[in-house]
Structure 1
Amino acid sequence: MTVQRITGMASGMDIDSIVTKMMMGAKQPLIKLQQKQQILEWQRDDYRTLNQKYYDFRTALSDLKLTSKYRARNTTSSDESVVTATAANTAALTSTTIQNVKQLATAATRISKSGQTDGAGKEVTISGSTKIDTDASLLSQESNFSTPITWKSGTVVSKSITAGSNGTVTIDLTNAPITTDENGKISMNVTVNGKTYKAVDSSTYSGLTDKDDYIELQLSTDQKTGTLTNFSTSLSEGTSINTEYIASSFTESKTLTATANTMQLSRSVNPYRDGKYSVSISDGSTSYSLVKVDDDTANIKNGDTTVGTLNTSSGLITMNDLSAETNLTVTYHENYTTMNLGTYEEDGDKHTANFYIKESDSLNDVISDVNHSGIGVTMYYDENADKVSLTRKVTGDFNPEGTEIDTGTDTNDFLNRTLQFAGTDSTETGGENAEFTINGLTTSRTSNTFTISGVTYTLKNTFNTDNVSGRQVTVNVSNDTDTIYNNIKDFVDKYNDLIDTVQKKLDEERYSDYAPLTDDQRSELTDEQQEKWETKAKSGLLRNDMTFKSSLSSMRSLIYQKVNNPNISSQYNQLSSIGITTTADWLEGGKLEIDESKLKAAIEADPDSVELLFRGTGSSTSEEGIIQRLYDSVNHTYNTIVDKAGKSTFVNDQFTIGKDLNSVTKKISDMNDKLDNLEDRYYAQFTAMEEAIQKYNNQYSYLSSYFSS
């Protein structure tokens, strides 16, 4: 209940000031609680700051458990113009001799025939008298090729779909029904997660012996939808899938009005053959004709009347003077051609890819499709040589019985017929394995870079000791002492940094006379004075903290102890024996220092013992390496501090200081309630006094007026 306060109107006294002074003494317990609350928060933050150092050091110790920190390797070659090498940390410290390199591994290459003989016996270049424009459509320059393109009736359709629930894949074929090829079979290219499959009908799929590159396409009865199944890996919902297939035609529609009179086609309409475009346009009752205006524009006509325009490059239709709603339908009637490429994998299995080529595609489009496919071949056209080349992206002979690059048996496809890769028109070169003799053993590899027992060799040139007397190449693998030393030094630096930070906090002076400032005290000080006061108030909150003192003591003890692992030489079973000792200044809290020459000598003399000294494991603490011992100790301290001070993501109920803060906060709340009640009581008493004085004054005034009259 709020007490009505009358402040000195009758008495003339400064009641607010009087009550404030009376409350000052009563508020002292509250101030003590608020200061305790602030100190707990500062302590919590100090604990967390130091614990972050423990966390970082624990992470560093985890890295130092890895063998790679102690097994860095150097390799040297007696002749780097012939052989270079690198070694993994698992490689043995050995010397290897390569007596000869008979031949290097090469990538298979096929080059198109430079020309052909016509009926008159006259030889012409692949592109006739006019060079190929690699950016122009194939249809616009098919006469430039010495061998005509074999076009097929149909249009290439590309669709992007996503996998549904449980990885089901369904494709809508309504506006572009899939059609069969010349063999009466249906097929579709399906690319998912970087791999391209060939989707075939159920009867074809069931008859395949090797199904790695194939999936099954199941068509609905009305053939308006298809379901893709039997992917080599299961698909998650939402997986993106790209498809490409041949349809007899492709249709798209849009309803136009006088105010929305444009239709954007999904592709350009560049192909133009025998005075006709590759699309037809109708509105259901009327079929419109297309009349070419220029390379980018065609008029849409109804008889002799122009009713709209088509931008053949962008595919934008604009209709004129639509008086009523019009459902416009556009049907594509493009031609296409195909080509096949096959390559062999390391296990000898053949990998094939089928490419669909539209009339509007350019040679650069074809080249890009090949280069970005998973077939492992690079296609290149050189206009000066006027040739096309195919090169494997890897070296080696993966098909000893034949060629590495297989262009298939279809002599009418674009690759074999038009680009002239058929049969003996294109002879393959390269595709050979590297052959060499190492440590007396004659062997081969598909690549000039290969790994044996952790050492990766790169052959750069051929040579033969029979031809060059006494010549051979020696590869030596040795310890990379500097790298191992730097890894150990990095550990020592991080250890010293932790020791230094913790020890300074333990030694920090505590200024007990500097309690946290109250709001009233802050108002009397400048910002600079407040900062100086608060620095002293925060100082020493963890002075001589037993958790951290115990932690440093434990780490020092573990550092000094021997590692009694039976696989470690007695010469190197403690840090001091490899040149790592504590500093002479005991005030530094047991920091470590390194005798560089002694540590490097130990690494070179017995790297295995040095490694086990640090990262060795055992059934007891005495057998464990320094790193595991420290890790366990640091982890224990870290978890102890988390229990005491929590993490930034914790709520107060999850750690000890937080519970103390909750308790103090509750006491502060209770104390505030008591003080509010006390202040109300004081004001109530003064209000009663004011009312009594006012009553007396009224009586006095009445009596005075009575006697004066």
Structure 2
Amino acid sequence: MPIRMSGMISGLDTDTIVKQLVSAQKLKYKKTNDKQTLLTWKQEKWKDLNTKLFKLYTTDLSKMRLSGNYLSKAVTSSNDSLVKVTGDSTAPLGSHKITVNQLANAQNVTGAKISVDKKGKEVTNNTTLQDLGVIAGDGKNTVITIKNGTKEQKLVVTKDTTLNDFVESCKSAGLTANFDTSQKKLFIGSINSGEEYKFSITSSEVDENAAIALQNIKDMANYSGLDTAGKSAVDSAVNTLRQLSDAELTALYEHANDSSYKPTTDAESKQLSALKTIQNYALSKTQADSKTTAVNYAKGEAETNVLNSLTGGYQESDANKMQNLISYVKSTNSTLTDADAEIVAKKLDKQNYAVQKNIEKEAEAAIANGTLVLGEGEDAASYAQAQVAGLSQVELNSKFQRLVDIEYASSNIQQKQQEKYDSLYNDQKIQDIKSAVNNNISSYKTELDKGAAGAGVLGALGLGEIDGTATTQPPSGSDAMVVVAASNSSITLDGATLTGTSNTIVANGLTITATGLTTAGQFISINVANNSQANYDMVKNFVKSYNDILKEMNTLYYAGSTRDYAPLSDDEKASMSDDQVEKWETKIKDSILRRDDTLGSLTTAMKQALQSSVTYNGKQYSLAAFGITTSKDYTEKGLLHIAGDKDDTAYSTSADKLLKAFNEDPDAAANALAGIAQNLYKTMTDKMSSIPNVRSIYTFYNDKEMATEQLSLKKKIAENEDKLTALENKYYKQFSAMETAMAKLQSQTNALSGLLGTSS
């Protein structure tokens, strides 16, 4: 915005005058601004109303229009403490008998206590399995196999394998597992109940080459440097690949090398992803190692270049200085021997000399160009020597490193670094890494396949060989492994035996949940009946939702007039309090849809749809047939009431026709009410169908038409603002011309007065 220095000669308040001149035109343009504001408020009000209408359409109305939703059943049990039953629409009406023969169990294993290892140390999650006694024969490794349905994990026990590794392997197989450090016991269990989810834990022996191959895979993939998710990904990949046949692995290796190959099955895609996971981790590690090696090599070259260029006349410092350097080195690393400290000190001495020679070179250049003037008897060499003498060893190290960094950044060194990296990481190296990964995977799989069964070492973990079928219950008071076998639930329904993996069994439309066993000869009676109350509640919920939205629509349509109210300008808002502004705008917004044609048409159509009747089995039904009517109070404007509704004070004492209809003729009530609701559903569907350039689908108002009008108004407002700016500039230009003319006139008057000998 330009800064105007106006009224300097005339003394007029030009800004105020221009503002008043422009205000008349601004007031004319305010009508367009008001239209845009009112349209925005109208869009907001319709958007809010549309959301509520659509919610009615998709929830309570959608439920009520489908006759199948009236088929819910009410089920009662003679003994809820043993059996709880619910029924869907297909549940057979009448009485049924149930006995509970067996409850479902999840397999659970509780190990014996393992307090100390073979070395007498307290057992923790970090205790190794070998220290616990899981030891294989010479040249062998123990393999613990955990099978849980289709999942299988094999844990090759090495000298580093811990109790926590065993727990994590159980978890990877889909089990719950924990070593309780207070009880010193392993707790292992299936997540799901039923015989289908039994698991086994067994041990065997394999050649130690399996452990070597697995360790090679982990080393190449930088396993120890990965986070938990990365380690889990490698473990999962190894487990997937070791289950493949030799032929499948060979084919997989070939496919992994073919970038154009597309897996043909989900299983193959998973296998290919597993192989590439390990290969990519291995390649990432090799690439990172190659970069580190190349950088270190280049920095070494840079340091050598610096020393070679600056230490041509180097001679070792005197014994006193060398001893000081040795003391410094030992202070930074107390573990160094005297001999090693002396080697480092000699290196630092040479670096210090290089720093001094560099300062000397810079001083010579500065003296030559006149930027450095030395005292009498001083030269560049003595200047450099004095400078170095005033620096600490830390500062000298920093200056030398700066010289190395400058040399390291040179194109020559950077080229050497790239050449070194290229020699370490290239296409051939990438292929070698992939081949090494593949070879170790194959070796690991081959050695595992050779495993000899029956290592029998799980007792060292407080466990035993677990086949997943037997229940092990030691004598009372003894400390031994306890196994609860997986079992299915079993019930007898009307003479038929039914089983399930959980204690909830679904059959013939009934959902039966057993919580206890029946005794011999005992049965539980259940009764299935139509759920009249649920149907009544569904209709009542619809009526409430419909009344809520209709009441709002009536309020909006019949709102009082606000003809004398217009949106406030910025100046008007500035002269009012926030509360006054809010009340003013709320009054306008509340009447924004007054006598709106679209709203009126929609309200009338919805009322008419619910006043319609339908025919079922040759008989006509309307809402009134079920005691659902409008009030005689015209001010309610079509709100519905249910005769006998206990929550409706005016109608609570009337005969409850709706509940009676559901009890006496549920089919007729369901089909008739669903038909009337369908009429309203169709009406609302038609009212929110899409019309090109007018309204979008699922929209009850002309949103597209309003959006087009908004764009037109915004364009008009922008044009008006440009016109106001031009008009304002025009007035300022005119006043500026006037000021210029008055200044010239004053100058001429002053000159004339001077000639006549008078003063202004």
- What interval of TM-score do these two structures reach, taking the shorter chain for normalisation? 0.5 to 0.7
Q: Is 1:391 aligned to 2:484, yes or no?
A: yes
1:648-667 residue pairs with structure 2 within 5 A?
Answer: 655-667=704-716
Distance 1:458 1:478 in 2: 19
More strand by share: 1
Gaps of 5+ in 2: 113-119, 143-154, 157-164, 170-211, 219-232, 258-262, 279-285, 297-334, 337-342, 345-447, 646-655
* Residue type at the aligned position of 1:593: H
Counterpart of 2:243 in 1: which secondary structure? strand
Check conservation: 1:47, 1:645, Cα contact below 8 A. no
Check conservation: 1:51, 1:641, Cα contact below 8 A. no
Classify 1:32/1:481 alpha carbon distance in 2 versus 1 (closer, same or farther; 3 Å). same
Match of 1:453 among 492, 508, 517: 508
- In structure 1, what is the equivalent of residue 203 of structure 2? none
Distance 1:611 1:604 in 2: 11
Q: TM-score, normalised by structure 1?
A: 0.56
* Residue type at the aligned position of 2:732: Y
Match of 1:628 among 666, 678, 701: 678
- In structure 2, what is the equivalent of residue 345 of structure 1? none
Classify 1:517/1:62 alpha carbon distance in 2 versus 1 (closer, same or farther; 3 Å). same
CA shift for structure 1 position 9: 2.9
Distance 1:242 1:671 in 2: 64
Check conservation: 1:48, 1:646, Cα contact below 8 A. no
1:129-140 residue pairs with structure 2 within 5 A?
Answer: 139-140=130-131
Q: Is 1:613 aligned to 2:672, yes or no?
A: yes
Q: Is 1:557 aligned to 2:608, yes or no?
A: yes
Classify 1:57/1:478 alpha carbon distance in 2 versus 1 (closer, same or farther; 3 Å). same
Classify 1:697/1:200 alpha carbon distance in 2 versus 1 (closer, same or farther; 3 Å). closer
Classify 1:701/1:435 alpha carbon distance in 2 versus 1 (closer, same or farther; 3 Å). closer
CA shift for structure 1 position 239: 6.8
Classify 1:238/1:45 alpha carbon distance in 2 versus 1 (closer, same or farther; 3 Å). farther
- In structure 2, what is the equivalent of residue 603 of structure 1? 662
Check conservation: 1:492, 1:592, Cα contact below 8 A. yes
- In structure 2, what is the equivalent of residue 526 of structure 1? 577
Check conservation: 1:77, 1:476, Cα contact below 8 A. yes
Counterpart of 1:493 in 2: which secondary structure? helix
Distance 1:56 1:355 in 2: 64
Deviations 1:556-604 (CA, angstroms, capped at 9, x unpaired) = 11111112344xx737x32222222223323223111112432221122
Q: Is 1:490 aligned to 2:538, yes or no?
A: no
Check conservation: 2:241, 2:275, Cα contact below 8 A. no
Deviations 1:456-501 (CA, angstroms, capped at 9, x unpaired) = 3456545666xxxxx8654210123322222221111111111111
Classify 1:703/1:580 alpha carbon distance in 2 versus 1 (closer, same or farther; 3 Å). same
Deviations 1:106-127 (CA, angstroms, capped at 9, x unpaired) = 7699999x9xxxxxxxxxxxxx
Name the stretch that deviates more: 148-157 or 504-513: 148-157
Counterpart of 1:42 in 2: which secondary structure? helix
Q: Is 1:578 aligned to 2:629, yes or no?
A: no
- In structure 2, what is the equivalent of residue 686 of structure 1? 735
Classify 1:525/1:461 alpha carbon distance in 2 versus 1 (closer, same or farther; 3 Å). closer
- In structure 2, what is the equivalent of residue 48 of structure 1? 47
Q: Is 1:363 aligned to 2:362, yes or no?
A: no
* Residue type at the aligned position of 1:363: L
Check conservation: 1:85, 1:457, Cα contact below 8 A. yes
- In structure 1, what is the equivalent of residue 330 of structure 2? none
Classify 1:390/1:679 alpha carbon distance in 2 versus 1 (closer, same or farther; 3 Å). same
Distance 1:238 1:496 in 2: 60
CA shift for structure 1 position 669: 1.9
Deviations 1:507-565 (CA, angstroms, capped at 9, x unpaired) = 22231221111112222222232223223333411101111111111111111111234
* Residue type at the aligned position of 1:602: A
Distance 1:693 1:552 in 2: 70
Classify 1:654/1:492 alpha carbon distance in 2 versus 1 (closer, same or farther; 3 Å). closer
Distance 1:51 1:515 in 2: 25
Check conservation: 2:132, 2:461, Cα contact below 8 A. no
Count how many residue pairs are aligned between Structure 1 and Structure 2: 503
Distance 1:510 1:83 in 2: 63
Distance 2:453 2:669 in 1: 59
- In structure 2, what is the equivalent of residue 499 of structure 1? 550
Q: TM-score, normalised by structure 2?
A: 0.53
Deviations 1:661-697 (CA, angstroms, capped at 9, x unpaired) = 2211222222222222222332333333333333333
Check conservation: 2:105, 2:487, Cα contact below 8 A. yes
- In structure 2, what is the equivalent of residue 210 of structure 1? none
Distance 2:97 2:687 in 1: 53
Classify 1:150/1:501 alpha carbon distance in 2 versus 1 (closer, same or farther; 3 Å). farther
* Residue type at the aligned position of 1:388: M
Check conservation: 2:252, 2:272, Cα contact below 8 A. no
Distance 1:81 1:635 in 2: 48
Classify 1:480/1:667 alpha carbon distance in 2 versus 1 (closer, same or farther; 3 Å). same
Distance 1:524 1:393 in 2: 79
Classify 1:22/1:134 alpha carbon distance in 2 versus 1 (closer, same or farther; 3 Å). closer
Match of 1:589 among 637, 643, 656: 637
* Residue type at the aligned position of 1:494: S
Classify 1:499/1:687 alpha carbon distance in 2 versus 1 (closer, same or farther; 3 Å). same
Name the stretch that deviates more: 31-40 or 519-528: 519-528
Distance 1:489 1:241 in 2: 60
Check conservation: 2:43, 2:703, Cα contact below 8 A. no
- In structure 2, what is the equivalent of residue 169 of structure 1? none
Counterpart of 2:682 in 1: which secondary structure? helix
Name the stretch that deviates more: 541-550 or 83-92: 83-92
CA shift for structure 1 position 435: 7.2
Check conservation: 1:55, 1:638, Cα contact below 8 A. no
Distance 1:361 1:612 in 2: 68
Classify 1:504/1:389 alpha carbon distance in 2 versus 1 (closer, same or farther; 3 Å). same
Distance 2:274 2:68 in 1: 39
Distance 2:681 2:549 in 1: 13
RMSD: 6.0
Check conservation: 2:241, 2:274, Cα contact below 8 A. no
Counterpart of 1:90 in 2: which secondary structure? coil
Classify 1:150/1:696 alpha carbon distance in 2 versus 1 (closer, same or farther; 3 Å). closer
Distance 1:240 1:628 in 2: 54
Check conservation: 1:137, 1:363, Cα contact below 8 A. no
Distance 2:686 2:459 in 1: 67
Gaps of 5+ in 1: 115-129, 161-171, 179-188, 204-215, 245-251, 261-306, 309-321, 324-339, 341-353, 397-433, 466-470, 616-624
CA shift for structure 1 position 75: 1.8
CA shift for structure 1 position 33: 1.4
Check conservation: 1:87, 1:454, Cα contact below 8 A. yes
* Residue type at the aligned position of 1:201: S
Match of 1:673 among 722, 745, 757: 722
Check conservation: 1:382, 1:388, Cα contact below 8 A. no
Counterpart of 1:53 in 2: which secondary structure? helix
Counterpart of 1:542 in 2: which secondary structure? coil
Check conservation: 1:94, 1:478, Cα contact below 8 A. yes
1:256-655 residue pairs with structure 2 within 5 A?
Answer: 363=461, 384-395=477-488, 434=490, 436=492, 439=494, 441=495, 443=497, 445=499, 450-457=505-512, 460-462=516-518, 473-566=524-617, 570=619, 573-595=621-643, 596=645, 597-615=656-674, 625-638=675-688, 655=704
- In structure 1, what is the equivalent of residue 92 of structure 2? 92
